Amino acid sequence: SPRFNGTLPRSFDAEGVPKAPLPLIQDGVAHNVVHDSRSAAIAGGGARSTGHAIAPGGSPHGPLPTNLVLIGGGAADEDELAAPIERGIYVNRFWYVNPVSAKETLLTGVTRDGTFLIEDGVISRPLRDVRFTDTALGVLDRVQALGVQPSLVSEADFYGRRFASGVVCPPLRASGLRITGGA
């Protein structure tokens, strides 16, 4: 599991458990589940905290995987990713992404800092920001291509340092993201 600068701003979680890379999904196969002390005790079977506690003693909401890394693919840039799309949406960034149902990996959020129409493989005109609601596993299943160069995406001030987290992700092309309304 790779490490990237900026993705592990704290060396331990809220329970003092050291942070370490933990592969969750590799090549489309689930490998691990994150735990805090509470969820590990509930899981039993020798499960231990993986360093993902968001509150001392564990949270009733469960542990939270943060500082995620998605390794890049082979597409040179966004233009190459857009080329095969007849009609679609180019999203520069997702913002205010929150879980709706963690068990199903259902998330909702809005687009930010540039949402554009793709027509005949060309990123054309700006669109209003939109809200999406989809499952993380569903989106990953529908990924068609990944860009070569991953970059760090984070809230610049980490919500006043209360929630330090960063995500390293390359640009990607995925089909069928569920747009559920305006931002």
Q: What is the pLDDT of residues 124-175, one digit of tens each?
A: 999 999 999 999 999 999 999 999 988 887 655 555 555 567 788 999 999 9
Task: Name the region of 121 (left: φ>0; alpha: ψ -120 to 50; beta: rest).
Answer: left
Task: Name the region of 113 (left: φ>0; alpha: ψ -120 to 50; beta: rest).
Answer: left
d(CA 68, CA 23): 9
Write down the pTM of the prediction. Answer: 0.81
Q: What is the pLDDT of residues 90-103, one digit of tens each?
A: 999 898 888 899 88
Report the pLDDT value the prediction gives residue 156, as an integer from 0 to 100: 55
Structure tokens at 135: 């499952």
Residue with tokens 């995987």: 65
What single DSSP character describes residue 104?
A: G
Q: What is the pLDDT of residues 5-46, one digit of tens each?
A: 666 667 889 999 998 889 988 877 888 999 999 999 999 999
pLDDT > 70 fraction of the chain, expressed in percent and rounded: 89
Q: What is the pLDDT of residues 16-26, one digit of tens each?
A: 999 888 998 88
What single DSSP character describes residue 92?
A: E
Task: Name the region of 156 (left: φ>0; alpha: ψ -120 to 50; beta: rest).
Answer: alpha
Q: Which residues pair with 167 in a beta bridge?
A: 153
Gyration radius of the chain's alpha carbons = 18
**In contact, 57 and 41? CB cutoff 8 Å:** no
**Domain range summary for the chain, segments of one domain joined by +:** 1-65, 78-182
